[in-house]
C-alpha cells in the first residue's frame, strides 16, 4: 500500500507498490470523466511511478468507478456530506469518478491488522492512535492506496483508505479539517508530499485549506492514467 500522513509537525510518507500508465487514443471513448484544465506551476510529486518509467505516476483506472464507503463513527455530525464535498473536488480535478457505496461498520484497524484490502471499496473513517498507531503524536490523518499488477508488468490502484484522527474537529476549525481530508485524498489518488509551503501536499501542516497550483497539476496528471 502507498500511503502518506498529514501532521502538524513532522510527516512521514510510507510507500509500497503501485502503478500508472499513459492515456492512449483507444481509451478516449471509455473514459468516465475528463481531468480539469489547469495551469502549469507549483510543485507536485507522486507516491509511486511505473517500474522502469520514472515519468509515469501511479494512477487509478480512469475508465472504472472508484467506489467508497464512509464509517462516520467518531467523525463530525455531517461526516458523509463532509466527505462527499471533498471527494467531489478531487473528482473534478482528476476526472476520476467516485461512487458512494453508503455507510459501513468496517474499521481501519481491521484492514491494517489483516492486510485485507483486496478489491473492497475505499474506506474513509475516523480513528485514534490506539486503533491506528500511525495517528500518533501530531499526525491527524493517513491515506493511501493499494495496487495490483496488470499485463505487461504494469500496475494500477484498486482500493485504499483514508483515516482521520477523531480529535481533528475538536482541535482544528472546519476549513482546516477539510484541508486535512483533501490532503489525505491526495495521497489516496497518488500524490506525495512536497517541500513548497504553498501547496496543500506540503509535508508539514501549514493550515493551507485547498489544493495549490502544483497539487492541481499533479491531480490532473493522475487522472490521465491508462484504461484496463
Longest pairwise C-alpha distance within the chain? 49
Q: What's the pTM?
A: 0.85
- Helix 213-222, helix 174-189: angle, nearest 10: 40
Tens-digit pLDDT profile for residues 171-190? 567 888 999 999 999 999 99
User: Where do the structural domains in the chain lie, given as residue ranges?
Assistant: 2-222
C-alpha cell at 24: 492512449
Q: What pLDDT shows up at residue 19?
A: 31
The answer to whether 141 and 5 have CB atoms below 8 angstroms apart is yes
Tens-digit pLDDT profile for residues 199-226? 999 988 767 899 999 999 999 999 998 8
C-alpha cell at 203: 509535508
- As beta bridge partners, residue 211 has none
C-alpha cell at 28: 478516449
Closest CA to 56 of 13, 95, 24, 12: 24
Q: What pLDDT shows up at residue 81?
A: 96
Stronger pLDDT, 36 or 111, i.e. the higher one: 36
C-alpha cell at 117: 484490502
Closest CA to 186 of 60, 17, 32: 60
Residue 22 predicted with pLDDT over 60? no
Which of the four CATH numbers 2.70.98.30, 3.40.50.300, 3.40.960.10, 3.40.390.10 does domain 2-222 have?
3.40.390.10
The answer to whether 225 and 23 have CB atoms below 8 angstroms apart is yes
Residue 109 predicted with pLDDT over 50? yes
Amino acid at each position: 500500500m502507498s500511503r502518506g500522513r498529514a501532521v502538524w509537525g513532522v510527516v512521514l510518507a510510507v510507500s509500497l507498490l503501485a502503478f500508472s500508465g499513459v492515456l492512449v487514443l483507444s481509451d478516449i471513448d471509455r473514459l468516465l470523466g475528463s481531468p480539469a484544465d489547469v495551469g502549469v506551476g507549483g510543485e507536485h510529486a507522486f507516491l509511486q511511478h511505473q517500474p522502469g518509467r520514472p515519468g509515469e505516476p501511479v494512477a487509478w483506472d480512469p475508465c472504472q468507478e472508484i467506489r467508497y464507503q464512509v464509517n462516520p463513527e467518531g467523525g463530525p455530525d455531517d461526516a458523509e456530506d463532509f466527505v462527499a464535498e471533498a471527494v467531489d473536488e478531487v473528482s473534478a480535478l482528476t476526472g476520476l469518478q467516485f461512487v458512494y457505496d453508503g455507510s459501513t461498520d468496517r474499521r481501519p484497524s481491521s484492514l491494517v491488522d489483516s492486510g485485507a484490502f483486496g478489491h473492497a471499496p475505499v474506506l474513509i473513517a475516523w480513528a485514534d492512535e490506539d486503533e491506528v498507531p500511525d495517528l500518533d503524536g501530531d499526525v491527524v490523518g493517513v491515506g493511501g492506496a493499494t495496487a495490483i499488477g496488470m499485463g505487461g508488468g504494469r500496475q494500477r490502484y484498486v482500493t485504499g483508505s483514508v483515516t482521520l484522527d477523531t480529535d481533528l474537529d475538536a482541535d482544528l476549525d472546519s476549513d482546516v479539517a477539510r484541508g486535512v481530508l483533501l490532503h489525505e485524498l491526495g495521497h489516496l489518488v497518488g500524490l506525495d508530499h512536497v517541500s513548497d509551503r504553498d501547496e496543500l501536499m506540503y509535508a508539514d501542516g501549514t493550515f493551507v485549506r485547498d489544493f495549490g497550483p502544483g497539487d492541481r497539476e499533479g491531480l490532473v496528471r493522475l487522472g490521465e492514467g491508462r484504461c484496463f
